[in-house]
């Protein structure tokens, strides 16, 4: 008896980072996974907040240091307006304070 392949739902991801090369590289890594799909990209925190409303991703990957609105403030807006969206903070900052602040803002 032949079995049909099981289709898995793809997680919809929005990437937000002001460094184009990092965003493109991360997109390539994520898109190589069959259950992940990058639905949008943002260069600023403000743009990320706007795109979450338009694209309804499951996950947002945010950099902390971005123009217009930093990732921590964007995280707070996203979690308040779209509580079902998970936010992951991606940063090069080593400060524990950034980590704690991200958790307070609702990051996973």
- φ and ψ at residue 14, rounded to 5 degrees: -110, 130
Distances in Å between the alpha carbon of 53 and those of 44, 81, 87, 90? Answer: 15, 8, 14, 21
The DSSP code for 63 is E
Name all domains of the chain by residue range, CATH numbers in brackets.
11-104 (3.40.50.2300)
Sequence-separated (6 or more) residues with CB below 8 Å from residue 89: 62, 63, 64, 71, 72, 75, 98, 102, 107
Average pLDDT over residues 50-77: 95
DSSP strand pairing (86-90 vs 11-16): unpaired
Q: Distance (Å, rounded) from C-alpha 21 to C-alpha 14?
A: 15
pTM for this model (two decimals): 0.86
pLDDT digits (tens, 9 = 90+) for 7-61: 668 999 999 999 999 999 999 999 999 999 999 999 999 999 999 999 999 999 9
DSSP H or E run through 16: strand 11-16
């Amino acid at each position: 008896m032949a079995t049909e392949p099981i289709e898995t739902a793809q997680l919809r991801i929005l990437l937000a980072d002001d460094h184009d090369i990092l965003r493109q590289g991360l997109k390539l890594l994520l898109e190589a996974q069959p259950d992940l799909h990058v639905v949008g990209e943002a260069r600023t925190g403000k743009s990320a907040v706007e795109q979450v409303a338009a694209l309804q991703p499951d996950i947002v990957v945010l950099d902390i240091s971005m123009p217009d609105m930093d990732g921590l403030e964007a995280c707070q807006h996203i979690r308040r307006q779209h509580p079902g969206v998970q936010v992951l903070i991606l940063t090069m900052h080593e400060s524990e304070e950034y980590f704690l602040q991200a958790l307070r803002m609702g990051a996973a």
